[in-house]
Homo-oligomer: A and B are copies of this chain.
Amino acid sequence: MPFTIAEIAAALGIRAEGDTSLSVSAVAEPSQARAYDLALAMKPEFATQLADGRARAAMLWAGADWQALGLSAALLAPRPRYAMSGLSAMMDAGAGYGVGIHPTAVIDPTATLAEGVSVGPFAVIGADAVIGAGSVIGAQVFVGRGARIGQGALLHPGVRIGHDVTIGDRFIAHFGATVGADGFSFVTPEPSAAEKVRETLGDQAGATAQSYARIHSLGGVVIGDDVELGANSCIDRGTVRATQIGNGCKFDNLAQIGHNVVIGNDCLICAQVGIAGSSRIGNNVVLGGQTGVSDNLFIGDNVITGGATKVLSNVPAGRVMLGYPAMKMDTQLDLYRQLRRLPRLIADVAALKKSVSKPDSSD
């Protein structure tokens, strides 16, 4: 899939210099680049590695002196990382899933597939499901009864979409991702120990043995446009109303979104994050890897959590949080520093006690 430097510059709307008729067919790190690769040296510290490879052209930062780097041509991007988005899309040969409907696929006659839909081997599409134009339903995918998926979806092999789930356009879901499994909702005949603990905190719970009755999940899941869901991630259906995911949200692998959760637009949910039932997440929120959010909380717009942050209470808009329990990041970092002084503090207090000890101060 070769492109000339000029073609790439035009497609990305960035500046090209040098021999822009030079053709590249792949991207590479500077030191590993072959002669027909476009090297990626987006910061000055990577440019020195160009000499270790054989690239004749590179994507560089705006203003880079590409001639001094021994190149024949250069792409100069004001924000190279952003330019990587368009460049990587151009260079992506795709996963090679077949086009058309594979003869083994089991598609209910009442399902509606718009123009240009592909369905892979052993996929199952249930009654009354609707798949938008140009969507790719990979091998071994399951789409439940009445599920609606918009245009241009890409469901990789093994994705499961439950019944009555509604998903917008350009949805991408990776291997084994699931949408619309039942929520985790159980109830005991009498108030359970866990319910009592929520009221009393820390009080030891009574020890009455009770079995759980399940509450069925009658709500579905409603997902906006341009959402991406990582491998083996799970978004559960709601209990009464739907679990809701806004436009532009991106979920990494192994994330867990509980029943009734509401997430706004353009959130980044990193790997292994868990959001417990009925919590509400604003817009443009970033939850770092392994973040946990307890149930029934509210996380405001633009909140960012560092890796493994455990959010046990509401977080106002704009906060940057870290730690367990989650605190403002600067407070948490101060605390980490203070904790390192604890041994000295203990020694100081012991010395002080000795130094001020008088018969009347002992207890």
Asked if B231 and A333 make an inter-chain contact with CB atoms under 8 angstroms apart, the answer reads no
Interface centre among A253, A274, A306, A323 (most CB of B within 10 A): A253
Nearest Cβ distance between residue A172 and chain B, in whole angstroms?
8
From B86, B181, B253, contact of A230 by CB (8 A): B181
| Chain B contacts for A294, CB-based, 8 A | 289, 307
Query: Among A3-11, A62-70, A157-165, which stretch is in contact with chain B?
Result: A157-165
Q: Does A16 contact B (CB under 8 A)?
A: no
The answer to the question of A184 belonging to the interface, with a C-beta cut-off of 8 Å to chain B, is yes
A330 and B272 contacting across the interface, CB-CB below 8 Å? no
CA distance A17 to B232 in the complex (A): 47
A169 within 8 A of B: no
Task: List residues of chain B with CB within 8 A of the CB of A190.
Answer: 79
Determine if A96 and B127 form an interchain contact, defined as CB atoms under 8 angstroms apart: yes
A40 contacts partner chain B, Cβ-Cβ < 8 Å: yes
CB–CB A329/B202 < 8 A: yes
Q: Which residues of B contact A230 (CB under 8 A)?
A: 181, 184, 234
Question: Which chain B residue shows the least CB distance to A251?
Answer: B184
**Contact in complex: A120, B124 (CB < 8 Å):** yes
CB distance from A28 to the nearest CB of B (A): 6
* Chain A positions 245 through 285: 1 when the CB is less than 8 Å from some CB of chain B, otherwise 0: 00110101110101000000110101110101000000110
Over the window 142-166 of chain A, the binary record of Cβ atoms lying under 8 Å from chain B Cβ atoms (1 yes, 0 no) is 1011100000000011101011000
CA distance A188 to B258 in the complex (A): 27
Task: Decide if B82 touches A270 in the complex (CB within 8 Å).
Answer: no
What separation, in Å, do the CA atoms of A294 and B175 have in the docked complex?
A: 23
Interface pair B266/A271, CB less than 8 Å apart? no
The A12-30 residues at the B interface (CB cut-off 8 A) are 26-29
Verify A304–B205 contact, CB threshold 8 A.
yes
Question: Does A34 lie at the interface of the complex (its beta carbon under 8 Å from any beta carbon of B)?
Answer: no
Contact yes or no, B346 A363, CB < 8 A:
no
Report how far A39 CA is from B145 CA in the complex, Å. 25
> Which one of B86, B145, B193, B201 contacts A330 once the chains associate, using CB atoms below 8 Å?
B201
Among B82, B142, B146, B216, contact of A158 (Cβ-Cβ < 8 Å): B142
- Chain B nearest CB: distance from A354 CB in Å? 8
User: How far apart are the CA atoms of A283 and B330 in the complex, in Å?
Assistant: 34
Query: Known contacts being A124-B140, A334-B343, is A215 close to B104, with CB within 8 Å?
Result: no
* A2 CB within 8 Å of chain B: no
Within 8 A of B (CB), among A42-75: none
Are the C-beta atoms of B353 and A356 separated by less than 8 Å?
no
Q: Which residues of B contact A363 (CB under 8 A)?
A: 351
Q: Do A210 and B284 have beta carbons less than 8 Å apart? A: yes
> Is the Cβ of A193 less than 8 Å from the Cβ of B351?
no
The answer on a CB contact under 8 Å between B346 and A345 is yes
Closest 6 CB pairs of A and B: A202-B330, A96-B145, A88-B216, A85-B213, A181-B231, A184-B252
Apart from A121-B122, A158-B160, A335-B342, list 9 A-B contacts with CB within 8 A.
Answer: A79-B189, A156-B160, A162-B175, A202-B331, A209-B283, A256-B289, A271-B276, A290-B292, A355-B358
A-B contacts, 21 of them at CB < 8 A, read A40-B240, A79-B191, A81-B187, A96-B163, A102-B106, A156-B181, A176-B232, A178-B231, A181-B253, A186-B268, A194-B304, A197-B329, A206-B302, A209-B266, A209-B284, A231-B236, A234-B271, A290-B292, A341-B346, A345-B346, A355-B356
